[in-house]
Amino acid sequence: MTALTIQDVSRRSGLSEPTLRYYEQVGLIGPIERDESSGHRRYREDDVDTLQALAYLARDIVASAVGG
């Protein structure tokens, strides 16, 4: 299993790091596994898939709201 950093996931999903943390905090994703020694988040490919879907939906909602 490849563990991805929050920076990797941000680049791949198009979501900012604060947004990723917020999504975990409010329960849209997660909880995200943590590295035992550093405490840093370590995302899985499944997490990225979910976040890419959420990013798509968020963009679609915004586009619909502004008439696009």
Return the pLDDT at 1.
Answer: 64
Considering the entire predicted model, what is its pTM?
0.82
pLDDT digits (tens, 9 = 90+) for 8-49: 999 999 999 999 999 999 999 989 999 999 999 999 999 999
* CB proximity list for 58: less than 8 A, separation 6 or greater: none
> Which residue in 29, 32, 7 sits closest to 17, CA to CA?
7
Identify whether the C-beta of residue 1 lies closer than 8 Å to the C-beta of residue 42.
no
Return the pLDDT at 63.
Answer: 75
Return the pLDDT at 50.
Answer: 94
Distance CA 23, CA 20 (A): 5
Identify whether the C-beta of residue 60 lies closer than 8 Å to the C-beta of residue 53.
no
Residue with the two structure tokens 């619909």:
64
Residue with the two structure tokens 């890419």:
52
Domains of the chain: 6-65 (1.10.1660.10)
